[in-house]
Amino acid sequence: MASRCVATLAAVGVVLLGASGFAAATSARQAQTQQEDDFLKGVYLPEASGLKAPVLKQTVYPKYTSDAMRAKIQGVVEVQAVVMPDGSVSRARVITSLDKAFGLDEQALVAAKQWTFYPGELNGSAVPVAVKLNLEFKLH
């Protein structure tokens, strides 16, 4: 069975996920906010005034796992990544999961960390910028 992986780039903002129940939701939001703060520390968001967004230079497509192919899992893994001033991806995380059981989320992260960019710029200097990557897994 043939498979195809498609990857796209888009600007991203911060996404907060809530939990059910007021106390649980508050606690979950606080933990999520702390994770957001740690992940995005020192990083510019695409909506920053005067920011020139990173431009994709090279894409690395994720590998389909054999278990995911047998299970016929298809869809998109949304990844938030930090593009550094040298154009490399320093860190990445799944913001919308496709599959936790068959390894597609992990394969998307492995691929995303290998992407390269022309760096984002602010006032003529290269800066770290958060981007959103959509990695699609599709069976033919």
Residue 34 lies in a domain: no
Output phi, psi for 61, to 5 deg: -80, 140
Output phi, psi for 32, to 5 deg: -65, -45
The answer for residues whose C-beta is within 8 angstroms of residue 49's C-beta and 6 or more apart is none
Tens-digit pLDDT profile for residues 89-102: 999 999 999 988 99
Provide the residue count of the chain. 140
User: In total, how many domains does the chain have?
Assistant: 1
Cα(99)–Cα(127) distance, integer angstroms: 32
Residue 50 lies in a domain: yes
Residue 8 lies in a domain: yes
pLDDT of amino acid 2: 46
What is the CATH classification number for the domain harbouring 118?
A: 3.30.2420.10
Residue 59 lies in a domain: yes
Residue 37 lies in a domain: no
Tens-digit pLDDT profile for residues 27-45: 555 555 656 678 999 999 9
Range of the domain at 97: 3-15+44-139
Residue 135 lies in a domain: yes
| Buried-state track 116-131, b at ≥16 Cβ within 10 A, e below 16 | bbebbbeeeebbbbbb
**Global pTM?**
0.75
Q: Which parts of the chain register pLDDT below 70?
A: 1-36
Residue 28 lies in a domain: no
pLDDT of amino acid 64: 95
Q: Where are the alpha helices (DSSP H) in the chain?
A: 22-39, 66-70, 104-112
Residue 49 lies in a domain: yes
